[in-house]
A and B are shown apart, each in its own frame.
Chain A
Amino acid sequence: MTQAVKIIMVEDDHGHAKLIEKNIRRANISNEIKHFDEGGAALDYLFSAEILANGPLLILLDLNLPDMSGTDILEKVKADDRLKRAPVVVLTTTDDKVEIQRCYDLGCNVYITKPVDYESFAGAIRQLGLFLSVMQAPEI
């Protein structure tokens, strides 16, 4: 691992964002987390020169965003030749089968439903942390 994996989190709910970050930290993941609460800003950043020049990243994506659907971002990311190698974890409240199917079709790597029950929520995030710690993110 020549370079630390950067985590891009697209989540409009600040509470959720903070909870996700807290639980990732609790799983002893110290990677940089960059948070965006809008799809547009996140896309701008993803397609900026900074990202294109720098290495591996992982995207945490919420589907219900105020300005666009998370699937739009997923689609754009997976359509880009360089970004498409970045793993995408969809983390949302929607557990509709059709929606999940669509995300996997678009190339999402992991789909996690946010449970309302906090213990399972924290558990899910910590497992994600474990997953991130062993994951070898590709160079972009």
Chain B
Amino acid sequence: MLRRMKLPSSQSWSRFSDFVRTPSLARSVTGLLVLAFVLLLTVNISTFVMIQRTATVNDAIEHAQQMRRQSRTVLISMLNAETAQRGFLLTGRSDFLTPFEEARAEREPALAFLEEGAAADPTLRAPVAQIRRLSDAKLREMEATLALAREGRIGQAIQTVRSGEGKRYMDELRQTIDDFDAFKSARIAERTRVSERAAMMTVVMNAITGLLVLVLALLSAWMVRRYVGEIQHAREEVAAINAGLEDMVRDRTAALTRANEEIQRFAYIVSHDLRAPLVNVMGYTSELEQAGKIIERGVAEAEAEREVSADIVTAVREDMPEALGFIRASTEKMDRLINAILRLSREGRRNLLPETLDMTAMARNIADSVHHQTEAAGAQILVEALPSIESDRLSMEQILGNLIDNAVKYLDAGRPGEIVVSGEDLPGGWVVYRVADNGRGIAARDHERIFELFRRSGKQDRRGEGLGLAFVRNSVRRIGGSIDVESELGKGSTFLLKFPKRLILSEPGGVL
């Protein structure tokens, strides 16, 4: 299980590393796209960071502005309180004290806000503490005068005001708050500038990246276009080569057909011309035989009268008839061979006529036709159900007939003969037929030879010219098939025939 899990992953890894190592268009395009994607991602991240930072800066600026406002609130509340204090001291009317209380109430949250801000920023601690101290002191001074006034000691209260202590506190407070304000303003300006620069940078970077991505996209598009162009070109080339190949095959086939026809014609002419001298050899051999008989008669007459030399008697009665016998036998054999070549060439020029053939019936007919031979030999022929074929009837009959004849002819006398004809359809539009026997078999070195003209194999105890299998192979090839033999000497032979299921001729009735 582990192996099965690992195998594909290691395979895909090696495929991936191959892909990376091998320079190819797919690799370049993929690289460009990955680069563009990385650039876009970088820009996105930096923009996001920029936005975050800008938001932070804006918050800080907002806070600083609030600090400024609150410091102003402290000052204003103190001024309001002072105004109320002076009014009360002048008029003694208690309604002047309400604004004082209001001012004091306003001061407290403002101060608290400032102190909170200062807690986060150490640089602000000193001024804020100063503001608290001075405003506290001023408040205390004002409360003291008010207390004196409420007790009726107005003069003493005015004296306190007049001493200028309160004014001094107030002046210092004003100064401190002005400084604080200026400091804060400068800081806001600084932060705004930094923020603007960063925003500018982001814009520029975005623009550059956008441009780069555009360039990368154009580059990939160009490469893909070029690649498609190359593929198109290659395809056209292949198509052209293909067309050329078809033409070549047609030319070759035509040339082969021509060559084949020439050979057939040649064989025909040669065998005819060979026949003419043979007519003479045979004719004059007969004439010599006639003359020999006359001489023999003369010798017999001479013998009746006197002693005849033994040499003459031997020459006339033995040597001459023997010589003539050999001449006659050889000439007859030569005639048979020439006739075989003629038959072969004539067969090669016969028009083929494809039709659907019931091969089982055909094989049974052939088996029946050799019935008396098989019966005499104690053999039997078993014809299995054979697939049909669309081919030339005469060729198929000759092929099967010849093979079955051979099987019957070369049975092994030592065991009851059994010949089996079988066959089946093969994928790809082919049919195979088998003629198997348990006869004497063929030695391996003769497996090719037996198909050659005038060649025979094994014990020469049967009549024959060595033509049958040569004819069979010739016919098999003519109808587009092939023939093979599997055999072991002393065990039996199987002849394998392979044919196209449908014989298609290049021209109707033509020669393959």
Contact = CB atoms under 8 A, between A and B. Distances in A.
B286 A119 contact: yes
A64 B273 contact: yes
Contacts of A13: 276-277, 279-280
Contact of A19 (B273, B275, B280): B280
Contacts of B275: 93, 114, 116
A38 to B, nearest CB: 16
B178 interface: no
Interface residues of B, number: 18
Q: Which 6 A/B pairs are nearest by Cβ-Cβ distance?
A: A15-B280, A118-B286, A19-B283, A118-B282, A93-B275, A116-B335
A117 interface: yes
A16 interface: yes
Interface of A: 13, 15-16, 19, 22, 64, 93-94, 96, 114-119, 121-122
Given A116-B335, A117-B335, A94 B272 contact: yes
Contacts of B273: 64
B482 interface: no
B285 interface: yes
A64 B335 contact: no
Contacts of B285: 118
Interface string B264-294: 0000100011011111101111110000000
Contacts of A93: 272, 275-276, 279
A114 B268 contact: no
B268 A16 contact: no
Contacts of B278: 116
B331 interface: yes
Contacts of A118: 279, 282-283, 285-286
Given A15-B284, A64-B273, A122-B286, A116 B268 contact: no
B339 to A, nearest CB: 9
Contact of A16 (B272, B276, B287): B276
A22 B284 CA distance: 11
Nearest to B278: A116
Interface in B292-347: 331-332, 335
B91 to A, nearest CB: 158
A117 B281 CA distance: 10
Nearest to B280: A15
A114 B279 CA distance: 8
B286 to A, nearest CB: 4
B272 A121 contact: no
B276 A117 contact: no
Contacts of B272: 64, 93-94
Contacts of B331: 116
A121 B276 contact: no
Contacts of A16: 276, 279-280, 283
A95 B273 CA distance: 12
B506 to A, nearest CB: 22
A121 B279 contact: yes
25 contacts: A13-B279, A15-B280, A15-B283, A15-B284, A16-B276, A16-B279, A19-B279, A19-B280, A19-B283, A19-B287, A93-B272, A93-B275, A93-B276, A94-B272, A114-B276, A114-B279, A115-B279, A116-B282, A117-B335, A118-B279, A118-B282, A118-B286, A121-B279, A121-B283, A122-B286
Interface string B251-274: 000000000000000001000110
A21 B241 CA distance: 67
A5 to B, nearest CB: 25
A116 to B, nearest CB: 4
Contacts of A116: 275, 278-279, 282, 331, 335
A8 to B, nearest CB: 20
Contacts of A114: 275-276, 279
A19 to B, nearest CB: 4
A121 B282 contact: yes
Nearest to B283: A19
A34 to B, nearest CB: 21
A119 B285 CA distance: 11
B280 A64 contact: no
Residue with the greatest number of chain A CB neighbours at <10 A, chosen from B275, B278, B287: B275
Residue with the greatest number of chain B CB neighbours at <10 A, chosen from A13, A22, A115, A117: A117
A89 B279 CA distance: 18
A24 to B, nearest CB: 14
Contacts of A119: 286
A118 B280 CA distance: 9
B272 to A, nearest CB: 6
Nearest to B334: A116
Nearest to A13: B276
Contacts of B282: 116-118, 121
Contacts of B335: 116-117
B283 to A, nearest CB: 4
Contacts of A122: 283, 286
Nearest to B275: A93
Contacts of B280: 13, 15-16, 19
Contacts of B283: 15-16, 19, 118, 121-122
B389 to A, nearest CB: 29
A64 B268 contact: no
B286 A64 contact: no
A122 B285 CA distance: 13
